[in-house]
Amino acid sequence: MQTLEKNNTKKVAHFLLDWAAVIALVLCLVIFSALKGANFMSKANMVNILLAMSITTVFGIAATVTMAPDGFDMSACTLASCSAYVFVSMYLWYGLNLFMSIVVCIIATLVLYQLTMFLILVCKIPDMLATCALMFVHQVLGQWYIGGGAVSTGMRVPHSGADPARTTLSNAFSAIGRSPYIIIIMLACVLAAHIFLNYTKHGRFLYAMGGNRQAAKLSGIDVKKYRYLAGMITGLFIAIGGILVASRGSSAQVMCCDNYLMQALAAVFVGRSVGGAEKPNALGTLVGAMLVSTLENGLTICAVPYYILPAVKGAVLALALMAAYAGKKEQ
C-alpha cells in the first residue's frame, strides 16, 4: 500500500515538473485576470502579448537549434543587430526591393556566421568562449558599417556621404513587423523548427549529439557536418529575427537586438522540460516565450515600478527553472 502511494506521489510530482512552465503560464493568466480583469484579457492586450513574444520566440528558436546538438551561442543577438543594419541599409541606402533586401540580409548573416563555425569547429574553441568573443566583433563590425548611428530615413550613407536611394519606408516594409504578419512568421518558425528537429533524421541526429556526442560519433554521425548544419539554420533564424526587429521599429537602431538575448535564453531553458522533453524543443520555447511576455505585460498593467520588473520576472522564472530541473537527479 505504501509503495503504491509512493508511486502515485512520484507520478504526480513528475507531472507537475514536466508541465511546470505551462502551469506557471496558466497561473500568471489567472492572477493577472483576477487583478485587472478586462484590461488584461482584452483582445487588444492579447495581441500585444503575441507581438511582444514574437521576436523573443524567433531568437529562442535560433537558440533551440543551436542547443539541440549541445551547442551555445551568446552572440546571436549582436549578429541579429548586424542583420538589421544590412536589411534596412539595402532597402534605404542602395534601393533594393524588399525581397532582395531580405535575401541579401540572410546571405550576409550566414556569411558572418562562418566565423562562428570556424572558431568552434576548426579552432575547437568552446562555444561559450567563442561566441562571447564574437559579441564584441559583431558590435564593432556593425558600428563601423553604419558609421556609429542608426540606419533610418533621412540618413546619408556613411563613409561615402551619398544621399540614400530611398527616403521613406514602404507600407510593405513596416507590415512585416506588425500584426498579423509578425505572428504568422513566428508560428511558421516554430512549426518549421519543430518538424525539422522531431520528424527528420537530421534533427534526430542533432538530438543524438546533444545526448552523447561521442556515442553519436561512434554510431556513424558526422558530428562536424551536423554541428555546421545547426549553425546555418541558427543563422537563418537570427536573420529573420533581425528583419522583424528592423521592420517593427521602422529602422535599425544601434545594437537594436542585443536586449533580446536573455529573454530568448530564458524561453529556451524554461520550455525545455515541457511535456517531459528534457531537451531544447520548439514548442517548449514557444511556451517559455509566452510565459516571459505574459509576465512582463501583466506586471506592467499592474503598474509595478519599472525597476522591480526585472527582479519579479527573474524570481518567477527561477522558480519555473527550479521546478523544471528538480527531477533531474531522480532520472
pLDDT of res. 2: 58
- CB-based contacts of 180: which residues, under 8 Å, 6+ apart? none
Q: What is the pLDDT of residue 321?
A: 67
The length of the chain is: 331
Cell 570556424 identifies what position?
118
In the chain, count H helices and then E strands.
15, 0
User: Among residues 109, 120, 57, which one has the least CA distance to residue 86?
Assistant: 109
Query: Residue 324's pLDDT is what?
Result: 58
- The pLDDT of residue 173 is 95
Question: Residue 71 has what DSSP assignment?
Answer: -
Query: What pLDDT is attached to residue 97?
Result: 96
CA dist., res. 324 & res. 199, Å (int): 25
Angle at alpha carbon of residue 201, lines to 200 and 206, rounded to 5°: 100
Q: Would you list the DSSP string of 267-321?
A: HHHHHTTGGG--S--HHHHHHHHHHHHHHHHHHHHTT--TTTHHHHHHHHHHHHH
Note the pLDDT of residue 16: 73
**Measured CA distances, 167 to 22, 170, 196, 257 (Å):** 46, 10, 40, 23
Tens-of-pLDDT digits for all 331 residues of the chain?
A: 556 666 677 777 777 777 888 888 999 999 999 998 888 999 999 999 999 999 999 999 999 999 999 999 999 999 999 999 999 999 999 999 999 999 999 999 999 999 999 999 999 999 999 999 999 999 999 999 999 888 998 888 998 888 999 989 999 999 999 999 999 999 999 999 999 999 999 999 999 999 999 999 999 999 999 999 999 999 999 999 999 999 999 999 889 998 899 889 989 988 887 876 678 999 999 999 999 899 889 988 988 888 887 787 677 667 766 765 665 555 5
Q: Kindly report the backbone phi and psi dihedral angles of residue 139, in degrees, each rounded to the nearest multiple of 5, phi listed first.
A: -65, -45
Query: Under DSSP, is residue 182 helix (H, G, I), strand (E, B) or coil?
Result: helix
Q: From CA 229, how far away is CA 94, in angstroms rounded?
A: 31
Whether the ω angle into residue 180 lies within 30 degrees of 0, i.e. cis, is: yes
Q: Is 40-324 assigned to CATH 3.30.530?
A: no
φ, ψ for residue 252 (rounded to 5)?
Answer: -120, 95
Assess contact for 261 and 76: CB atoms under 8 A: yes
For residue 326, the model assigns a pLDDT of: 63
Cα 166 to Cα 97, 156, 157, 262: the distances in Å are 10, 10, 11, 35
Domain ranges of the chain: 40-324
Q: What per-residue confidence (pLDDT) applies to 115?
A: 96
